[in-house]
Amino acid sequence: MSNGVHEIEDAALLFVFGYNGADSHPIVARRIVRAKQKGATIICCDPRRVETARIADMHLQLKNGSNLALVNALANVIIEENLCDENFITEHSSGFEEFRELAKKYTPEAVAATTQIEPEVIRKAARLYATSGRSMILYGMGVCQFAQAVNVVKGLANLAIMTGNFGRWGVGIGPVRGQNNVQGACDMGALPNCYPGYQNVTVPEVQAKFEKAWGIKLSNKIGIPLTQVPHYVLHETEEKKIRAYYIFGEDPAQSDPDLAEVREALEKIELVIFQDIYMNKTGQFADVVLPATGWNEHDGVYSCCDRGFQRIRKLIDPPANANVLTDWEIISRLSTAMGYPMKYNNTEEIWNEVIDLCPTFYGATYEKLEKLGNIQWPCRSRDLSDKGTSFLHKDGHFAHPDGRAKFSSIEWQAPTELENEEFPLILSTVREVGHYSVRTMTGNCRLLRNLEDEPGWIQMNPKLCRDMGLKHGELVKVLSKRGYCITRCLPTDRVKRQAVYMTYQWWVGACNELTIASLDPISNTPEYKYCACRVEKIEDQAWAELFVKEEYEKIRSNMGIILHKEAV
């Protein structure tokens, strides 16, 4: 994020784009509500009538998959109506002329059919965004989970650059990232192309620095992203094939697209090492299981999506007979056993090594974290006066070599698999408030299960349900080209007729049996938000209920969940 989460409250306008904070991040959603209470204008851009849409001044209920067409049209209006910040563009950006040419053809009229939004509505939204004085964009998976994703982010950045909404309090662009520590995983170099601190593995000076620090020879080759593992197992040549897979804190057999393909890959890999705090679907393919402690059983540092480091502290000891170690102790022992002795006494020693090697994190010592509670990087000095950085790009300085922000001129591209005669509906997969990702954590909690349990729901427009003769709660079969699953029908006015929505939390109602492994070429994130599907009525409901019950029991017993004596 260019700006801090706490700054959300002070924006004059919030443009919430493909982000459903009320379900995904209730604490961040509170900030959005508070901004509203302080007088901010809110524009919500989502094909569903999510909670933000209910409190918004405008709801742009665009057609699924039309993001960049809309974003370029907003830019078109801002240019045509002379609402640009000319000074910011001249002083702090490059590439505007080329972008102006591209934006010309994205008139609100030209994109009306693609986006399903009235031209006057687009004009009004563009005027509000460009003239509020302090506009902030928040975006989520409604942007990222498309084959055209990174380019939409660049399109949103164009809007912020052309209106001078960078480098100040309460402006900017905010990917409100997923998990409590997904930003931290990236900050620590759990990426195929970076060491900690976003230092690229292909840069010789960086390589030399880490070789010296660790006393070893390192490779300058970029690694393989998670979502390409099936390809590297099933379709690559012998030399390139992946043969061993060490996976932790991730359940691709539930959370990756096209699960049939994922299972085939996991079966073919010769060695799977699995490190987790619970058994999950991927763990069932494991040759070696390494059980780890949970968040309240160890120390560490998390990074929030706005670059803020926070300490987490051990609260309880793991059960004496649990036979678990912290993730870092497991890694240290494994490394030592493989011939590279790794010895740390505590997480502070690890953290000190990290900050010593990462200039942008250098000043964020445990001591300072203790005093300040939260430090947003960059924090380059150990001096107490350096408290980190709430917003980036101060005074219009950007990270490109010329110090300028770069306009990107990119055409809208349609999603990969469009609705068709056999599969006439769009399937989009999202989140719900009560359950978390692959549901190991929330699915093992009886309280949450009592609120919502297998096989989950498919959100459908009430008219579509009526036409199909489907009632609330009825079990239905959902099919795509790749597979099928069974779930319950949830008629809701929040969604339009053309698209249906499932959450990816359910083991039985697993929507990733259906989703498509079409990846954004830069981020490698799959197109979870768009594939073609069909919903079928099930005549024999008693059979379907029994099927769901038996499947659920089978999965739980495979995961070693004791059915008669459940823990809360």
Ligand X SMILES: Nc1nc2c(c(=O)[nH]1)N[C@H]1C(S)=C(S)[C@@H](COP(=O)(O)OP(=O)(O)OC[C@H]3O[C@@H](n4cnc5c(=O)[nH]c(N)nc54)[C@H](O)[C@@H]3O)O[C@H]1N2
Binding site for Mo ion (CB under 5 A): 178
Q: Find the binding residues for ligand X in span 522-551 (CB under 6 A).
A: 528-529
108-110-116-120 Cα dihedral, nearest 10 degrees: 20
- Residue 24, binding choice from ligand X, Mo ion, none, Cβ under 5 to 8 Å by partner class: ligand X
Exposure of 14 by Cβ count < 10 A (0-12 exposed, 13-18 middle, 19+ buried)? buried
| Binding of residue 295 to ligand X (CB under 6 A) | yes
CB 389 within 8 A of CB 379: yes
Q: For residues 249 and 403, which CB has a smaller minimum distance to ligand X in the complex?
A: 249
Question: CA nearest 162: which of 92, 108, 104, 111?
Answer: 92
- Distance in Å, CB of 400 to ligand X, minimum: 27
- State the first-to-last Cα distance of the chain, in angstroms, to the nearest integer: 36
CB 533 within 8 A of CB 478: yes
d(CA 48, CA 457): 15
Distances (CA, A) of 231 to 224, 228, 282: 10, 5, 17
d(CA 324, CA 276): 10
Binds ligand X (CB under 6 A): choice among 19, 106, 309, 398: 19
Site size toward ligand X, by CB under 6 A: 54
Q: For residues 178 and 225, which CB has a smaller minimum distance to Mo ion in the complex?
A: 178
Binds ligand X (CB under 6 A): choice among 428, 459, 461, 480: 428
CB 393 within 8 A of CB 166: yes
- Distance in Å, CB of 178 to Mo ion, minimum: 3
- Distance in Å, CB of 502 to ligand X, minimum: 8
d(CA 169, CA 302): 24
- Residue 67, binding choice from ligand X, Mo ion, none, Cβ under 5 to 8 Å by partner class: ligand X
- Distance in Å, CB of 332 to Mo ion, minimum: 27
| Binding of residue 280 to ligand X (CB under 6 A) | yes
Enumerate the β-bridge partners of residue 246. 273
**Nearest residue to Mo ion, scored by beta-carbon proximity:** 178
Q: For residues 23 and 348, which CB has a smaller minimum distance to ligand X in the complex?
A: 23
Please state, as a whole number, how many other Cβ atoms lie within 10 Å of the Cβ of residue 323. 8
Q: For residues 177 and 404, which CB has a smaller minimum distance to Mo ion in the complex?
A: 177
Distances (CA, A) of 431 to 268, 473, 529: 31, 19, 11
- Residue 436, binding choice from ligand X, Mo ion, none, Cβ under 5 to 8 Å by partner class: ligand X
| Binding of residue 560 to ligand X (CB under 6 A) | no
| Binding of residue 178 to ligand X (CB under 6 A) | yes
Distances (CA, A) of 437 to 222, 282, 351, 375: 28, 14, 28, 27
Q: For residues 178 and 483, which CB has a smaller minimum distance to Mo ion in the complex?
A: 178
- Distance in Å, CB of 327 to ligand X, minimum: 5
| Binding of residue 183 to ligand X (CB under 6 A) | no
Q: Find the binding residues for ligand X in span 248-277 (CB under 6 A).
A: 248-251, 255, 275-277
Footprint of ligand X (CB under 6 A): 17-20, 23-25, 45-48, 50, 62, 64-65, 67, 140-142, 145, 178-179, 248-251, 255, 275-278, 280, 292, 294-295, 327, 428-431, 433, 435-438, 440-441, 504-505, 511-512, 515, 528-529
